[in-house]
Structure formats: structure tokens, C-alpha cells
Copies of this chain bind each other. A is one copy, B any other.
Amino acid sequence: MSPERVPLCLDLLPALRGEDTTKSFFQELVNILLSYVCKSFRRSSKVLDFHHPHQLREGLEGFSLELPDQPENLEQLLVDCRDTLKYGVKTGTVRAVDCFAENVPKMYYRFTYEVSPVFILMEEILLRKMQEIVGWSEEEGDGVFCPGGTMSNLYSVLLARYHFFPEVKTKGMTALPRLILFTSAHSHYSVKKSAAVLGIGSDNVVVGCVPFYVNATAGTTVYGAFDPLNAIADICESHGLWLHVDAAWGGGLLMSKRHRVKLQGIERAWSVTWNPHKMMGAPLQCSAILVKKRGLLKDCNQMCAEYLFQTDKHYDTSYDTGDKTIQCGRHVDVFKLWLMWKAKGSEGFESQVNKCLENAEHLFDKLKQRPDFELVFKSEPEHSNVCFWYIPPSLRNMSPGPERNRRLHEVAPKIKAKMMEQGMAMIGYQPLGDKVNFFRCVFSNPATQTEDVDYLLEEIASLGHDICIRTETDL
């Protein structure tokens, strides 16, 4: 066990002054919330302080929505929080604070500019920033935040299908030829799930008739491997196929000058899934689908519900983004990412990502040296995933083969069960293809130190040393 250290507020706050800072920061936040709540109770307060999109975008009284490279200080973050509440609408079920009572009869609105002016602009600015990082030009790009990477991937298939066969929206799949999706064996199961949900059928993922969609994974779930994006893009281009890059897990590496090379070619994608709730540490849920072709999201998904999307409003209704989504009311996922970006700056995300990958490299190096562990892959990790087996003494001198595999397969679950009952650490395991149960370590928390990595290894080794693995004859 590593000795007790100074609390690591680094990840929570952009300051290193420890618990007291955390406390007073929280205290101030509470004061802001309290004064907001108490004001809301008063019938004399305004429901909203209306400003047109361009006014809010340009920055009112110093309230800037732009995302910085360098972190802001704590005082400024508090001001940002206060301003976010100030320019938001004080009525409504549409907000993170909407559990508070309102003063006027509640109106039924969802994700139109008038009820969510600040959040709609925050979403626009975040999507723009992410598209710029992906490498799309100013003229390209659209997107929405989704309830998770699975839904983002579903959007990509939905849009690709609509792009090639717009009649599917009204006529359904009966009007279409049998469609085929390409993806790799290690891609996330959400691609198959999307095909099942959308009525394409999971069997039509990989082999079939009219190919229209290729999913390339940038950072696979288990191994953290990157598909060769440029090579895949070349093929897609020559066959006119939709290229989707599932960077749900690998997208965070785009923030790092050192590591973004692994995603070279991502700018050629027609759509990209990127989950800030993974590598960038945003609280779940926070996922975006980025779409290169403007207008497609709206054409594909709009149903023009009159009760929501009137065109005779007194402001620019292109900011009523609700009809781009397959949802109606949406949870506000953008604010937390926006505030994190203010707090860390692009550079903060960069060092965070670098740190996680350094931890993975450290673990990899350690594992290489130890006789009681075996790496699933001998090559350097591409992402922060490291996969390995613990080899108990009884298996160390055994020759490879089915009997060793059968016994090795039981090791990880046994260690894991012991670990969970102790509760001091937690690690996942799974089998994959011809590989029996192995541990998978994934670093996405920059507060993790190399000592923690070492501790985890020792913990596994000490729990694993004495486990009893049944031999063939015991069965």
C-alpha cells in the first residue's frame, strides 16, 4: 500500500492547494445555487433575459462562450457558472436545475433556442471545436451530443443509410436493396446493435449485398487498437462508401500532439463518434456524433412537429436544433464538458491524455520484466489499454496447450472475485477470440500515479499466488 499522500485535487480543480480550495470552491458554488433558487422563488424575477443568438455568441458583459487553450482560474469558473444561470431560462423542465420550483405555469418546450439559449450555443461551440480538432474545414460539419457512444454510432448508420437512400425515411427498408455494413472483428458491439435496431439485421454486418457503410475503430474497446484510417478511407473513396470512425474511446488522443498521429486520416471520415465521457474524463453521459455533410442530420431526422418548431418566431430558428436529433427533450450534456474545457483548457486535456498513456507504458514495461505475468500482446500499447494474464506458480512451467488454457481461463475470475470482496481495487477481465480470460487495464484517470499501477500488480500477484486451480483429475 502506498503511503497516504496530499489529496490530489488536480483533476477536480485547476489548482493544487488541496482540500481547503476544494471546500471553498464548493462553498461558493452552493452560494450561487442558493441565491439562484431563492431568486427563482420570487415572483418578481424574470423568467428569462432574452438575447438573440448572435448577441450571446459575441459575449455579453464579459461572458465568453469560447473554449480556451489555457485553463481559467477558479474565480473565473465561478463567474462562468453564475453567468450560465443568469442567461438561461428560469422556468422549465429543460435544465439541470429544473427540479426547482418555477414562478409561472410551466410551458412545454424542448431544445429550442428560447428555452435553452445558453446550452444550444455551448453545444454549437463544442461541436465546432471538436470538428476543428478532427480536421474538418469551416464549411463542413454538423453534429449533436448523444446519450452515449452507442447512440452516436447508431446515428452514423442511420445517416449513411439516409444519405444513399433518402426514401427509407418514409417508405422503410422494403424500398431498399439488402444493405451491408463493414466493420472489424474488434469493433464495438454497438455497430451490430445499430444494424439490429435500424432493421438492417446484425447478419448484414460484415458480409453481403450492397455495401454502403464502413466502420473503422480508432481505439478498440478491449485492446485499444487503431484501424489504419487512411488505407480504409482510400478504399471507401474509390467505392463511394460512407466512412464512419468510431473514436468513442480513441478520440481523446486527438487532444495530444504526441498521440494524435494514431488517428491520421480521421479528417476523411464522413462521421465520427467521440465520447468525452471516456478519455477526457467528462461525467457520463457525454458523447458526440460529428457529421461532415451539413444539413443531413436535419433532413434525416426532422418530423416538423408544429408544436415545437414554429417558423414564425422572432429570432433565427436555425438555432432550434431539436429536430436534428432522434430524441425530443434532451439531457444537458454540454455544460459539463464546456466547464471542464474552461477549467483545463485544451492544454489541460493534452497533458491529461499524455499522463494516461504514460501510465499504460509504465504498466507495459513492468509486465515485460515480470515472470509471473504475461502480456497478451508483446507490442507497445497504442492506447491506454494493457491486456495481460497473471500466471500462478502451478502454470509457470506448463507447456502451452488446451490444458494450460483451460486452467489459465479460471485465474482472472478467481482473482477478481477475491479482489471485489476485499474492495481495495477493481479491474476487468474477459476472454476474446482464441484468448482465454485476461485482465484488461484501462487508464483514463490522470490522478492515477505509477505507484498505483505498481500497487495493482502486487495486489493481483498476491491474490493470485495462492489460488487453487483445479486440475483435469479434479473435474
Contacts and interface: CB of A to CB of B under 8 A. Distances in A.
A27 B231 CA distance: 57
A424 interface: yes
Interface string A92-113: 1111111111111111110000
A415 to B, nearest CB: 11
A230 to B, nearest CB: 27
A48 B93 contact: no
A204 interface: yes
Contacts of A183: none
Interface string A10-54: 111000000100110011001001100110011110111110000
B105 A456 contact: yes
Given A41-B7, A204-B172, A423-B49, A26 B34 contact: yes
Number of chain copies forming the complex? 2
A1 B103 CA distance: 12
Contact of A158 (B103, B192, B197): B197
A198 interface: yes
Contacts of A158: 197
A9 B38 CA distance: 9
Nearest to A19: B38
A282 interface: yes
A23 B38 CA distance: 10
Interface in A266-301: 277-278, 281-285, 301
A432 B306 contact: yes
Determine the main DSSP class of A at the interface with B. Answer: loop
Contact of A326 (B98, B105, B193, B221): B193
A192 B49 CA distance: 35
B445 A101 contact: yes
A339 to B, nearest CB: 10
B447 A102 contact: yes
A43 B278 contact: no
Interface stretch (A56-64, A76-84, A135-143, A436-444): A436-444
A441 B108 CA distance: 8
A431 interface: yes
Given A94-B284, A150-B328, A281-B99, A442 B199 contact: no
A197 B77 CA distance: 40
Which 4 residue pairs are nearest across A and B when measured between Cβ atoms? A172-B201, A199-B199, A173-B173, A101-B447
10 contacts: A1-B43, A98-B283, A99-B336, A104-B455, A104-B456, A105-B427, A114-B426, A147-B285, A189-B305, A198-B199
